[in-house]
Structure 1
Amino acid sequence: MIHFAIVGCGHIANKHIEAIAMTEGAKLAALCDTNIARLSELKERNNVPVFSNMTDMLEQELPIDVVCICTPSGLHTGLAVEAANAGKHLVIEKPMALTLDDVDAITQAVRRNGVKATVVHPNRYRPAIRYLQDALSRDAFGKLSHVNVAVRWNRGQAYYDQASWRGTHAMDGGVLMNQAIHSLDLLIWLFGPVAEIKSFVDTRIRDIEAEDTAVAVLRFSNGILGIVEATTTIYEQNLEETISVFGENGYAVIGGRTANWIKQWKSASITEEEINRVIQEVDLDPFGVSGHQRIIENLVHAIQEGIEPDITLEDGREAVKLVVDIVSKGKAELYC
């Protein structure tokens, strides 16, 4: 049995609690948060020890094997390094950290202490994305010309005003780091590293430090061109999250308010019958087993078998690096 503690008990912690409960060989052992009222609520619901300080939690003789870091992003580094130094494996919510120096500090601590760590990029496990990955592995669209991701969402001013850390550079990051990083992770995972970037970023509407809107054009190392659009300024509600792929022998568009549905799919090498079957399967179960559960299951397996998790710290670093590069180049373009 692999025992998990969760540090940071906001909204995302609920997904971790559920994922641990649904995973064979995993058990929730402790919860930690500075919000005492929230802790009391979760203690009653989950019947586990609770702590307001992670150091105190780690000093107790509790059967904790893994620490899930679910705090605001700016706190990830210190907590992850401390947990790794205590010999605990790690599940780190996205983004892994907000700077490359912090990412590298976590990686060094993990390697130094011989523990395992994974980063939460659950969109890789969506059924439609898995079908897309399989089609790309079979070269179903032929030579690719370009790909596109768009995150057109709403995070109103009230969202940012709920907590002083939201929208800040030090604790949260902007739309790319907080909302669009999952789409950027998919770009790298599916199409490889990025070689060249042209971008603009700006804070157009929301009263925050970080950017609320970003646009970028990419050239991948393999020559594929890419377009990124991300914003939290869409009026009133989330509009869409899409990933589109265009090639000489076909195309695919996966979208909806979240990228869970196959909206368009054509391929010279896949029959209409097979395409329709896949679309129907996705429509029946567009979310599948939760990505968080897949990640918890995979880490349990990695610990038990002594292998690396599927989503590595290097994967987490590549996603953060792409955000950092787009933002830095975008700000340079904006103010040149």
Structure 2
Amino acid sequence: MKGINFGIIGCGRVAIRHIEAIQLASNAKLIAVCDGDKARAEEKSLLGNVPFYVDYHEMFKQHPEIQVVIILTPSGSHYEHAVDIISRYQKHLVIEKPFVMTIAEGLTLKLLADKASVKIFPVYQNRCNKAVQFVKNAINQGELGAVRVGTVRVRWCRPQRYYNLSPWRGTWAMDGGAMTNQGIHYIDLLRYICGEITRVHAKLATLGAEIEVEDTGVAIVEFASGAVGVIEIMTSARPDDFEASISAVCENGLAVISGIATNILQTFSPNPAKCQLESENFKDAYGFGHNKVIEEVANSILYDKQFLVEFDDGLQTIKLLHAIYRSDELGTWVEVNEAKDSKRLGVPDEALLQLYRTSTKEHETAL
């Protein structure tokens, strides 16, 4: 089978999952990896059995055959790296969550991608989970019926030492708080499973760590269907992670998805026997969804197929995220499609950004 050549920029923990997914795909091949930290780049190169670089400009010079770049750098660097790679090298991009920090970044990136005739693939891998697909289909096909209340609860523990691991963590410019970092997948799944959200009223707070951003947030939401819901996301729970769940109370019953990464169908009242059948065991919070993501990225390029999450769909989750922040800033209801960028989230910090920029003078490769 004809394959697509991938390169990776950013060799943190999630890079392992992307490397594994490429290795498992019959239509994809990993060519090289890059990270400003030589040790991390070398470690991932050994895992992928490919050359490593500390300068992505050098990586592209040595490997012009790379067709798709997976951006796994800190969140606040995604936009700058994406713009540079599209403008200089005209590569397709896979970008981890959140794929942009602001609505404005997303709109600009879309214009650049269209002009360069390249595709951007936002990563929302949890949409691929068996339990998620099962509940979504049960709603769409009428088994559960119309949603009446949709709820997200993420009650996790991220103590001060977590935020002290890297300078970008817990910052408005490069990370965002519990809603943005830990909550983005759950916020996305709420609209994916229960339908589009039209407006929100949110309250955010910082209660468990000395950081710029929120570690606790609650939002009331209204769906386009007339249903209502609640988003509760926190990293200030102590001393452990307690819960991460999505529930849909519908006209014909209740569905609850839980587990370390929305992988367990905990409750399905119309047919409880489905719970075991539609659940998966994950070894970590990344799950198996990246396997499908990489396979479908390659298919989209090879055969011009529609991707799992189209750009505008992915950007709608970013709009919802900013509506939550704007509601907290304004102290009132905010319409999602009329929301402007938060005054805090994604505001650039040049000193922080400089720590994660690639020097074009320094590079190294090794097998």
Task: Give the TM-score of the pair, scaled to structure 2.
Answer: 0.85
CA contact (8 A) 1:214 1:230 kept: yes
Distance change in 2, residues 1:115/1:106 (3 Å): same
Does 1:281 pair with 2:277? yes
Report the counterpart of residue 305 of structure 2 in structure 1. Answer: 307
What stretches of structure 2 of length at least 5 have no aligned partner? 333-367
CA distance in 2, matches of 1:231, 1:166: 15
Distance change in 2, residues 1:33/1:58 (3 Å): same
Is the partner of 2:319 in helix, strand or coil?
helix
CA-to-aligned-CA distance 1:44-63 (integer Å, 9 cap, x gap): 33332222122222233432
CA distance in 2, matches of 1:109, 1:280: 45
CA contact (8 A) 1:175 1:213 kept: yes
CA contact (8 A) 1:214 1:229 kept: yes
CA contact (8 A) 1:95 1:316 kept: no
Report the counterpart of residue 253 of structure 1 in structure 2. Answer: 256
CA-to-aligned-CA distance 1:198-232 (integer Å, 9 cap, x gap): 11011112111111011000001111101000000
CA-to-aligned-CA distance 1:254-310 (integer Å, 9 cap, x gap): 11343221222113xxxx4xx40x222234x34497111110000111111013312
Q: Which stretch of structure 1 is more off in the superposition, 25-34 or 255-264?
A: 255-264
CA distance in 2, matches of 1:324, 1:150: 19
Is the partner of 1:178 in helix, strand or coil?
coil
What stretches of structure 1 of length at least 5 have no aligned partner? none
CA contact (8 A) 1:240 1:258 kept: no
After superposition, where does 1:111-122 map in structure 2 within 5 Å?
Answer: 111-122=114-125
| Correspondence for 1:298 among 296, 313, 317 | 296
CA distance in 2, matches of 1:282, 1:138: 17
CA distance in 2, matches of 1:38, 1:62: 23
CA contact (8 A) 2:178 2:235 kept: yes
CA contact (8 A) 1:29 1:62 kept: no
CA contact (8 A) 1:116 1:308 kept: no
Report the counterpart of residue 191 of structure 1 in structure 2. Answer: 194
CA distance in 2, matches of 1:237, 1:9: 27
Is the partner of 1:308 in helix, strand or coil?
coil
Is the partner of 2:331 in helix, strand or coil?
helix
CA distance in 2, matches of 1:7, 1:34: 9
Question: Cα offset for 1:197?
Answer: 0.9
CA contact (8 A) 1:128 1:286 kept: no
CA distance in 2, matches of 1:323, 1:122: 18
CA-to-aligned-CA distance 1:167-202 (integer Å, 9 cap, x gap): 100000111111111011112222332212111011
Q: Which stretch of structure 1 is more off in the superposition, 196-205 or 165-174?
A: 196-205
Is the partner of 1:176 in helix, strand or coil?
coil
CA-to-aligned-CA distance 1:141-175 (integer Å, 9 cap, x gap): 22321110111111111110000110100000111
- Structural RMSD (CA): 1.7
Report the counterpart of residue 23 of structure 2 in structure 1. Answer: 21
Q: Which stretch of structure 1 is more off in the superposition, 191-200 or 297-306?
A: 191-200
| Correspondence for 1:266 among 260, 266, 269 | 269
CA distance in 1, matches of 2:19, 2:239: 30
Structure 1 residue identity aligned to 2:325? V
| Correspondence for 2:220 among 192, 217, 223 | 217
CA-to-aligned-CA distance 1:71-106 (integer Å, 9 cap, x gap): 000000111122223121111000011111111222
Structure 1 residue identity aligned to 2:327? K
Count of aligned positions = 326
Question: Cα offset for 1:249?
Answer: 1.5
CA distance in 1, matches of 2:54, 2:131: 40
Task: Give the TM-score of the pair, scaled to structure 1.
Answer: 0.93
After superposition, where does 1:21-60 map in structure 2 within 5 Å?
Answer: 21-60=23-62
Distance change in 2, residues 1:44/1:248 (3 Å): closer
After superposition, where does 1:317-332 map in structure 2 within 5 Å?
Answer: 317-332=315-330
Higher helix share: 1
Is the partner of 1:145 in helix, strand or coil?
strand
Distance change in 2, residues 1:19/1:257 (3 Å): closer
CA contact (8 A) 1:202 1:331 kept: no
CA distance in 2, matches of 1:241, 1:208: 22
| Correspondence for 1:92 among 81, 87, 95 | 95
